[in-house]
C-alpha cells in the first residue's frame, strides 16, 4: 500500500471515530446547559465561545478588553477574533474524542472557517443540533436569566438586540447545514432531563 493510501485510511478512521457536534439556536434556548451535559456524558470537549470571552473579560486580558463593549451591547465580536479563538482552543485539545461547539459558528464566515479547520484535521461535524423554543418562552427565559444572574449583557434592550442579530446573521446558517444534511431540530421545552434524553436519542442514532 502506498503511503498516501495509508494516510487516507487513517483520516477515514478519524472521521468515523471523532464526534463533533454544533449546538445551535438563539440565545436563551438552553444550549449552554445541554451542551455541557452532552459533553460530559459523551466525554467530549465543551467549547462555549461566550464562556471563553466572559473569562477573558474577567481576567482583563487584551482580548477581554477588546470585546467587552461589543459584548455588553449584545453585538457579535469580529469573525477574525472568533476564528482565531476557536482554532487556539481546539489546538489545546489534540487527541480529544470530539467537541461540542456552543455559540459557534454564528456567521456564515465562521461556519466556513470551521469547515476548513475540520477538513485540515481530517474531521467533520457529525450533527448540528438546534434546540427549538417558542419566541415568547425564549424572551421570558432571557429576562429571568438577566434578573437571576445580573448578566450585564442581558438588559431588555440588549436581549432584543441579541435576538435581532441572531435572526440576521446566525439563523441563515440553518440553510447552510440543511444543505449538508446534518441539521436536526430538537424541542427545547420540557425538563432538562427530557431535553437531554431527546438529544442523546439524536446523537446515538446519528448515522
Shortest Å distance, C-beta 69 to ligand AMP: 10
Which whole-number Å values give the CA distances from 81 to 40, 62, 68, 99, 134, in the listed order? Answer: 27, 12, 13, 19, 31
Assign 92 to helix, strand or coil: coil
Lay out the site mask for ligand AMP across 61-80 (x = CB under 6 A, - = otherwise): ---------xx--xxxx---
How far apart are the C-alpha atoms of 49 and 110, rounded to whole Å? 12
Near ligand AMP by CB under 6 A, which window of 104-112, 117-125, 133-141, 182-190? 104-112
Shortest Å distance, C-beta 1 to ligand AMP: 41
Radius of gyration of the chain (CA): 17
How far apart are the C-alpha atoms of 71 and 162, rounded to whole Å? 10
By CB under 6 A, name the one of 18, 23, 25, 27 that touches ligand AMP.
27
Nearby residues of 99 by Cβ (< 8 Å), 6 or more positions away: 20, 21, 44, 45, 46, 47, 90, 93
By CB under 6 A, name the one of 106, 113, 130, 186 that touches ligand AMP.
106
Near ligand AMP by CB under 6 A, which window of 101-109, 112-120, 177-185, 199-207? 101-109
Whether residue 106 contacts residue 172, with contact meaning beta carbons closer than 8 Å, is answered with no
Restricted to residues 167-196, the positions that interact with ligand AMP (CB under 6 A) are: none
Binding site for ligand AMP (CB under 6 A): 27, 49-50, 53, 70-71, 74-77, 82, 103-104, 106, 110, 162
Amino acid at each position: 500500500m502506498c503511503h498516501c493510501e495509508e494516510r487516507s485510511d487513517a483520516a477515514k478512521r478519524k472521521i468515523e471515530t471523532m464526534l463533533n457536534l454544533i449546538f445551535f439556536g438563539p440565545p436563551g434556548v438552553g444550549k449552554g446547559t445541554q451542551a455541557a451535559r452532552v459533553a460530559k456524558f459523551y466525554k467530549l470537549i465543551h467549547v462555549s465561545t461566550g464562556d471563553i470571552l466572559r473569562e477573558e473579560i474577567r481576567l482583563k486580558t487584551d482580548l477581554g478588553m477588546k470585546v467587552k463593549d461589543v459584548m455588553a451591547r449584545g453585538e457579535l465580536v469580529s469573525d477574525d477574533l472568533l476564528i482565531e479563538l476557536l482554532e487556539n482552543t481546539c489546538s489545546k485539545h489534540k487527541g480529544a474524542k470530539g467537541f461540542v461547539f456552543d455559540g459557534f459558528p454564528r456567521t456564515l464566515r465562521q461556519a466556513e472557517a470551521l469547515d476548513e479547520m475540520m477538513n485540515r484535521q481530517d474531521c467533520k461535524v457529525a450533527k448540528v443540533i438546534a434546540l427549538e423554543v417558542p419566541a415568547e418562552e425564549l424572551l421570558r427565559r432571557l429576562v429571568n436569566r438577566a434578573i437571576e444572574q445580573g448578566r450585564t449583557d442581558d438588559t431588555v434592550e440588549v436581549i432584543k438586540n441579541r435576538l435581532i442579530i441572531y435572526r440576521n446573521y446566525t439563523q441563515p446558517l440553518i440553510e447552510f447545514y440543511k444543505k449538508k444534511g446534518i441539521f436536526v431540530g430538537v424541542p427545547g421545552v420540557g425538563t432538562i432531563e427530557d431535553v437531554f434524553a431527546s438529544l442523546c436519542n439524536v446523537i446515538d442514532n446519528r448515522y
